[in-house]
Structure 1
């Protein structure tokens, strides 16, 4: 093979490299694995810890259980031991590992013993292995110890070997995620000798342990399990190394298991066995449950199925739920789609042989599967069939009503038959009873159909078959007809009840689908995030019939945004669980592995762009059934998308606002650059001429240059003042005085100032004699009036500019009118906008476009109104009017004068 071809084909596995990159960002988990208590796991950890301490490594002891062993306790000397957390439990003070203290100390390595320990109720996590996972995620290396019997997949095997059920268990994924597994081994005979010497347990417990657990056969079997699991883990590490370094060689076989489970008791063993099989084959495995569309399994069965699925997920399986009528076809279809090489399924022993034309599910799979291995798992502990039951099975819920309907239907059919018999003799009177059976099935289900069939047979025999009035049958053909009728009635009743259950199931699903459709339509028409949250939280509460709350991030923290009922409150533990869900993207709270003491369960709202929020609902003793789980998942998905859409919409508006602001900034820079360059160029040219020519220039020319410098300097001063005033208007920092203002004086001062600046311009004033005083700021009002005169001078043509001041009711009206070209109707609404400038006939624009905007801000700051009108007079010109409220002298606020 050419070198370049080898380079293209022998590339590292991307998934393996990604897993390696993730390991670099987290701490390393070292697991000391033993076959049984007393082999020296804790002793080995502490010996290794002392060596690292001497080498200068920052290592501390978070928790160590010495179990009264003096030689183990002596190894703690010289090591830093973190203080434990004291917890009150059942009237006693107990000690627990303090994870918060460990995180605050943040050592390089920490020793935490007893990996399979169950924490007390007020702990953040129910199990210690979850505490250790949090430490590893925080970048701390952790050493811990566990015995092989605590692995979840081996719980049933250990129970068979040792005869003792192990209560403390950990998922097999903990062992798979360990970066290093150290097997601490001891021959069984030597371990038994240590037990007798009191080096494993205290003397009062040693004898009991030797009788029940520490037997040579038990320890040998457990030792084999530990050796096998360690070898499997070493093999996994070798395969990971080959993939990360693109080393060619022998690879594990590409086996893939499909595990079939149901709500029966055997499924738990099927999952555990499949986990061991997958571990031995180093294969991926999928656990699938198939249910009928009209299935109406009991609540206990559904809870058992949910528990089995959670167990499979803990053991590292991928889980699926399928709805279909043909179980065999659905299983084989999934097996072909997922390229499964082996199918694992439980096989029960039946109390009665099946009908010849009906096969069990395992037999049907064996008959129809082609090229796929079938593993049948049986339960050796399943009790043998018994001819008689010791306990009577309780009737299903609602059986009393069903029996009453069945009895009344059969009684009605009997009464109707007797009435008909009085008038006419019918040979097929049994059809009335068949009708009663169908009616019972339609109204009350299968139990009522069976009961109605049995009651109808007895009633038909007693009232209509010779000899009448007895339960005996005289003719043989009547016996055949009676049993045929019973079979037909049971069959028809079963079909009718099944149709009824299917109709009920379809109705429930249609209602759920309609509710989700209505919710989807409501969200599709909502762009506001607050409306989305309230619609979602009410939908969740209506679906689950439990208190619900939605939380969104705000200012770096997760905070409640909507709740239903509105008085729903979250405590400290609830908020801690919600923050955990948001930060870790995993469920927390009640019935989860994190902070289970919270009465709420929190789930993340996942969108294509990440976590957008958290949903919490009040979890009671009754867990969510499968229909509620599906509905909740659909609601959360739609809510996450809607919240994300609202966020994107808000960001789009913010972006548009930023673009608009950028547009204004560009206009401002353009205006500043133009309006500054022109006067500066004039001033610079005049100063240069004066310096270069000096006394050689005629006096008239020097005066003209000095005059131009003065005019352009004044223009610059006005321009800078306008910019400062506009900044004050936008910032809302204009503090207008509330003094008594004589408007006539302000008008005269502004006109005189304008005549100074705009020489040659004619100004006409008309001020009413009875003009009242107003409350305002004379300086601001003078600036406004001068801006209006400046604007009229620029665009008012060559005719005179008129200033009018008069009283209209309780208002003083002050207006400036020019007779120029006027303002187009479309521009009237924009003349007070920033940077709006009206062009001259030659296309050039004058001014900065800030004068009228500043005037509007000043007038409103003094409590007045300003308005532009065009045309003003003779179908041309522009009038800008200001209106101020007239102050009454008797009610004036003297304190502000």
Structure 2
């Protein structure tokens, strides 16, 4: 309980709703009870006032219906041209309005249905897109077009309402302005020709424009406007943290099913919720062992739930064995104050109806039972429509089973007298129930009753019963047979349901396995497209955003499915709005593809599409649930593939950063040291010049020469490494005289290191090897330079060459400290150096890496081993293929 000193705080939910409204355009609805009350006139009159204030006002569409007064008000206000290039001339041009993007746009006739070919089937969807784009919209609506009132208005006026608007549109409006006119004045305007032309006015007076009808419509409009004012007041109190007379907090639970009565229950519940200003929840529950709904019943249930969502309800569904317990448990958990349920037609002699059971156990929860008209729909168990072979099986199996049982019983009875032959007939009933279902079991029970009576109960050959106890036996038999058949049939239905669910689970399992075995994003997308095609029996396509964010086809099955501009537009809509688009949806319903977004918990991943035929219906409930389950699995797989790709990129980036850091470290050390020596020597020579002794000047010049050579070798190494990694090093494959090449390499190394001692041990019959002499000389030079650097000048370097196992082998061994076994492979990495603080120049760390790259280019190998001799030193071994000899 808050302390008295605590300041009241605004409702967080109300503040979030306010913030959401601030980020979009505003919607104002001019609400009237009937045509002709002056909605368009009032809207244009206010629009002229806003234009006079300097507001950018544009008319997107206005229907004057020939009224000159209304037409004059539209003069002087910019009006967008109507569509005329898409076969839908006269329609509101949504794209032109979005491109013009005025501050205030007037769009009349909110309940209008767009022509075929438009982006949205209904104009209120066009207006929703305009509001999302930040444009303020004014529109007009008659109260009879609200979806929750359409059936009530049809009964009041006797005229069906063809165009409807979901109640959520009016509830989401920022402002509702009631345009009211008493019925008598409206009828006078009709007589004066200010509403319709004379012929239409006469028909209107005989039909819709009756005083009683107009009065009822006026009351509905006034109530809806008052409800809207109450909602705005409550919103203001919550946003301002004002404690006061808030809404009472009524909450309704509406129970629906696949029957035809549920639509009426939802509409009545919507009006009840509106009158009570209450939140409401629509709930559907099914039994786990119940037979699957036929297509008509399943689609009727889905349409009922979609209607409830359009009217502003929250929908849920559940599977449970006890309907009453499940409904009441949900009601108490959700703090329901009233339960709304339809009353089934007909009497139930042996068990209570669902409303009766709920009334009995509801306790303090109110129960509103919706009556059913005599001519209305009743709750019916969905019937299975059997094909001719199924009918033949259902009717023929009981006849064959009972006939065979009778012949078997007569045969046994001729041999021995049995008193319990009825058990054989129970087996026939059970067999019929398990194989053909409930109806077949009933027919088998009736036939068994007749056959048992005719052939085995005295007097035989007649359907009469001589002994009274036999009558009781027959009645018990038929009761047991019917009960056994019912249980067996229910078991069969549960088995069929379990098989169906197992097939769905197996399909999802197969899909998961296929996705888990797919490596790479392309393989995952191909698996998604092929499995969607296999599961739903329609061509499937998957689109993903490219680098610029534009959708492009990434996988399809069958392949090569072209998408036209309209289909791509629908796919982009599904991506941007994260809602279905295309075939028979609320956006571009004429497109033959049905697109659904693929969304993970973190991001929008892409769009999946199904190619629908011209005669196809919307996806059934089972197919839609399968479709959503497959897309959920696809989202997980695509997210995983993308994360793997991003992880690989991050790993490459980390390796690149390490390489860059090593390169910068090498450059900073290997360039700074020789440059410092050269700079110092040049500065000394320039400042002192002839003052220095000749020997000192020679030493300085020698230092400049040596350090310049070192820089030159460093740059050459970098260049060689770059050429190797870029694949620009092309090795020749020609015979090489190894003895001559080794002598040349040793001479080159001695020019750089005059104190280098080399011990040669070359086989006398050393054959030529296949390779590139220039590259092999560079490899040997790098190894000798490395041996001098780490083995020291005082220790000789041994070179040994011979032929072994069909290859030429050359080893270079130093007498240094050796290399730990863990580092024998690392020394071939770029910029890896082990010399630290031993006083010798550490080098670039590229020599051995270049050596391995050159050997690989020649088709050879290089390996390192340590210790080499007497637990010291390192040996580098080269292997090259031998040159072919002979003709």
TM-score (norm 1): 0.87
2:629 counterpart (622, 629, 634): 634
Q: Distance in 2 between matches of 1:806 and 1:50?
A: 103
1:615 equivalent in alignment to 2:608: yes
In the TM superposition, 1:287-436 aligns within 5 A as: 287-296=282-291, 297-350=293-346, 353-355=347-349, 358-380=351-373, 382=375, 397=387, 398-436=390-428
Corresponding residue SS for 1:546: coil
The answer to whether the 8 Å contact 2:592/2:612 transfers is yes
1:194 counterpart (185, 189, 198): 189
Counterpart position of 2:487 = 495
The answer to whether the 8 Å contact 1:742/1:774 transfers is no
2:58 counterpart (57, 60, 78): 60
Q: Distance in 1 between matches of 2:442 and 2:147?
A: 44
Deviates more, 1:442-451 or 1:687-696: 687-696
Corresponding residue SS for 2:367: strand
Write the deviation string for residues 37-76 of structure 1: whole angstroms up to 9, x where unpaired.
1222222222333333333322322222222223323333
2:26 counterpart (14, 25, 28): 28
Offset of residue 590 of structure 1 = 2.0
Offset of residue 326 of structure 1 = 0.9
Corresponding residue SS for 2:127: helix
Q: Distance in 1 between matches of 2:741 and 2:46?
A: 93
In the TM superposition, 1:569-580 aligns within 5 A as: 570-580=563-573
1:836 counterpart (832, 839, 845): 832
The answer to whether the 8 Å contact 2:113/2:122 transfers is yes
In the TM superposition, 1:659-678 aligns within 5 A as: 659-678=654-673
The answer to whether the 8 Å contact 1:768/1:805 transfers is no
Write the deviation string for residues 472-531 of structure 1: whole angstroms up to 9, x where unpaired.
556665555544433333222222211221222223223333443454455556664444
Counterpart position of 1:389 = none
In the TM superposition, 1:133-144 aligns within 5 A as: 133-144=128-139
The answer to whether the 8 Å contact 1:550/1:614 transfers is yes
Counterpart position of 2:113 = 118
Deviates more, 1:560-569 or 1:156-165: 560-569
The answer to whether the 8 Å contact 1:604/1:613 transfers is yes
In the TM superposition, 1:429-508 aligns within 5 A as: 429-465=421-457, 468-472=460-464, 478-508=470-500
Write the deviation string for residues 396-434 of structure 1: whole angstroms up to 9, x where unpaired.
553332111122222223333433444455554444433
1:104 equivalent in alignment to 2:99: yes
The answer to whether the 8 Å contact 1:830/1:836 transfers is yes
Counterpart position of 1:5 = 5
1:596 equivalent in alignment to 2:589: yes
The answer to whether the 8 Å contact 1:810/1:886 transfers is no
1:182 counterpart (157, 164, 177): 177
Counterpart position of 1:562 = 555
Deviates more, 1:757-766 or 1:21-30: 757-766
Unaligned runs of 5+ in 1: 386-392, 889-897
1:269 counterpart (256, 264, 269): 264
Offset of residue 807 of structure 1 = 11
Write the deviation string for residues 780-837 of structure 1: whole angstroms up to 9, x where unpaired.
78766654553343235435668899999999x8968453446666545444321122
Offset of residue 438 of structure 1 = 2.2
Counterpart position of 1:895 = none
Q: Distance in 2 between matches of 1:844 and 1:213?
A: 107
Write the deviation string for residues 713-763 of structure 1: whole angstroms up to 9, x where unpaired.
332343344335444544556689999999999989876665443333357
Corresponding residue SS for 1:26: coil
Offset of residue 682 of structure 1 = 2.8
RMSD (Å) for aligned C-alpha atoms: 3.9
Offset of residue 138 of structure 1 = 1.5
Q: Distance in 2 between matches of 1:23 and 1:301?
A: 39
1:224 equivalent in alignment to 2:219: yes
Offset of residue 328 of structure 1 = 0.2
Corresponding residue SS for 2:828: coil
The answer to whether the 8 Å contact 1:775/1:887 transfers is no
Counterpart position of 1:657 = 652
**1:740–1:34 CA distance, 2 compared to 1 (3 A):** farther
Q: Distance in 2 between matches of 1:777 and 1:282?
A: 93
The answer to whether the 8 Å contact 1:581/1:588 transfers is yes
Q: Distance in 1 between matches of 2:698 and 2:186?
A: 116
Unaligned runs of 5+ in 2: none
1:550 counterpart (517, 531, 542): 542
Q: Distance in 1 between matches of 2:377 and 2:318?
A: 32
Q: Distance in 2 between matches of 1:183 and 1:706?
A: 101
Counterpart position of 1:891 = none
Corresponding residue SS for 1:259: strand
The answer to whether the 8 Å contact 1:742/1:772 transfers is yes
Offset of residue 172 of structure 1 = 0.9
TM-score (norm 2): 0.88
The aligned length equals 871
The answer to whether the 8 Å contact 1:399/1:447 transfers is no
**1:503–1:395 CA distance, 2 compared to 1 (3 A):** closer
Offset of residue 108 of structure 1 = 2.2
Counterpart position of 2:17 = 19
Q: Distance in 1 between matches of 2:119 and 2:357?
A: 48
The answer to whether the 8 Å contact 1:823/1:878 transfers is no
Q: Distance in 1 between matches of 2:490 and 2:526?
A: 40
The answer to whether the 8 Å contact 1:743/1:774 transfers is no
Offset of residue 841 of structure 1 = 9.7
Q: Distance in 1 between matches of 2:417 and 2:736?
A: 117
Deviates more, 1:584-593 or 1:510-519: 510-519
Deviates more, 1:530-539 or 1:328-337: 530-539
**1:489–1:2 CA distance, 2 compared to 1 (3 A):** closer
The answer to whether the 8 Å contact 1:549/1:615 transfers is yes
